[in-house]
């Protein structure tokens, strides 16, 4: 495997970008090229360290996840109803991802395709933020099955590396009437089942690529990703109470331009 500092850098990149609308996959592909850490083992490592970011969401929203097992009376997003909503959100991308997994890995994991996805996602952010949308959903507990499925359909856009799962689900939630912070929080929670399934599937397919000596490398990336994601989520929710998502769109366009110019 690569030197230990590569695991730290990629862990920071993954954790900081996984839940921001800027695409962690896109950033990891770019960082991997800059660090000369590419190939099947690198791609699988980048997916595996997402588990650290997933764990950060579970810790921060522990009460929500516990409520899915032990229903809370005054919360609609709990018990079987909450699980049903998460299933509806996860279903479209799970099906499409399973059918297109080989194509995506073969043709869409490149700096050029990432740059195009970053630009496309930026356009979507600008369009949604420019619309005068009615905010009918004020809390996660007001998410309906229709909204959950709609967000799941938007999540399919994230199968294009560089588009961003966070951007697609938050924009989808806002278009369907969710307040910006509510769309973001539901996006974080809904990420857990589909990301866990995707990382588990990929690791089971490719675990033979790793040797015992690689475990420390994986562990470093996992722990660093967890810490960075925890900080990013806390900061992002605070920012969303004060700002729109337009600054992230500007950043995406600038990054896309840099990629096309230099990579």
**pLDDT at residue 10, as a whole number:** 94
Q: Residue 178: what are its φ and ψ, rounded to 5°?
A: -85, 140
Q: Pseudo-torsion of CA 117, 206, 192, 55, nearest 10°? A: -110
**pLDDT at residue 190, as a whole number:** 93
**pLDDT at residue 1, as a whole number:** 61
**pLDDT at residue 175, as a whole number:** 95
pLDDT by residue for the chain (263 residues), tens only, comes to 678 889 899 999 999 998 999 988 788 888 888 888 888 778 778 877 888 999 999 999 999 999 999 887 778 899 999 999 999 999 999 899 888 877 887 778 788 998 999 999 999 999 999 998 888 888 999 999 999 999 999 999 999 988 999 999 999 999 999 999 999 999 999 999 888 887 777 777 777 777 777 788 888 999 999 999 999 999 998 888 888 999 999 999 999 999 888 86
Give CA–CA dist 83/88, Å, rounded. 9
Give CA–CA dist 39/94, Å, rounded. 24
C-beta separation of 7 from 73 below 8 A: no
pTM of the model: 0.88
Closest C-alpha among 192, 174, 175, 193 to residue 183: 174
């Amino acid at each position: 495997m690569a030197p230990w500092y590569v695991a730290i850098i990629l862990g920071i990149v993954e954790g900081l970008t996984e839940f921001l609308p800027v695409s962690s996959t896109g950033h990891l592909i770019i960082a991997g090229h800059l660090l000369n850490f590419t190939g099947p083992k690198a791609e699988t490592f980048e997916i595996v360290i997402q588990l650290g970011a997933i764990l950060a969401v579970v810790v921060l929203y522990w009460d929500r996840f516990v409520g899915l097992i032990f229903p809370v009376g005054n919360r609609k997003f709990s018990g079987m109803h909450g699980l049903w909503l998460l299933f509806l959100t996860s279903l479209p991308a799970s099906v499409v991802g399973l059918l297109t997994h080989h194509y995506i890995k073969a043709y869409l994991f490149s700096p050029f395709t990432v740059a195009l996805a970053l630009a496309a996602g930026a356009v979507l952010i600008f369009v949604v933020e420019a619309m005068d949308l009615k905010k009918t959903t004020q809390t996660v507990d007001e998410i309906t099955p229709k909204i959950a499925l709609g967000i799941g359909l938007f999540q399919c856009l994230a199968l294009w590396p560089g588009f961003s799962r966070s951007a697609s689900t938050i924009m989808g939630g806002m278009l369907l009437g969710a307040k910006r912070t509510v769309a973001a929080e539901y996006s974080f929670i809904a990420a857990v089942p589909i990301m866990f399934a995707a990382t588990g599937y990929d690791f089971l397919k490719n675990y033979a690529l790793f040797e015992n000596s690689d475990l420390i490398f994986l562990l470093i990336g996992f722990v660093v990703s967890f810490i960075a994601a925890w900080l990013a989520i806390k900061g992002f929710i605070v920012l969303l109470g004060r700002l729109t998502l337009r600054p992230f769109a500007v950043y995406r366009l600038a990054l896309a331009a840099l990629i096309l110019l230099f990579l």
